[in-house]
Amino acid sequence: MAHAAPPSALEQGGPIRVEHDRQRRQFSVRLNGPLESTSQLFVSPAPGCHDRAVLLYEYVGKRIVDLQHTEVPDAYRGRGIAKHLAKAALDFVVEEDLKAHLTCWYIQKYVKENPLPQYLERLQP
């Protein structure tokens, strides 16, 4: 008899945990499956697998990051997941004392809706 995987925090309506993988230069939210230890970085699923929402970034200078793209699978859109990714990425920029270029339209929208001084002072034109 097969056992169903335990529901994720998202499926249970629990807190959304954003993970940061510096090597892959991305923030992510696990969308299904059991929760992992908070100290464990995720291993990216195979291409085409959509069990994570991601925000991709790239260093474009020594202290400048380009927040390039946010992607949430269709089935999970409209639940505020991209907002959590945007906040985590911008908090990372602040904590690491970086500057940010915002290529991603969603991050641009997030900053416009949340014009916190600590975010605004770190934006690159």
User: Which sequence spans correspond to the domains of the chain?
Assistant: 18-30+50-121
Residue 30's pLDDT is: 80
Q: What digits encode the pLDDT tens for the residues 44-54?
A: 333 444 678 88
Quote the CA–CA distance of 64 and 99 in Å, as a whole number.
5
Instruction: Give this prediction's pTM.
Output: 0.70
- Average pLDDT along the chain, 125 residues, taken 10 residues at a time: 41 68 81 42 40 88 93 87 92 94 96 97 93
Give the CATH class of 18-30+50-121.
alpha beta
Quote the CA–CA distance of 90 and 85 in Å, as a whole number.
9
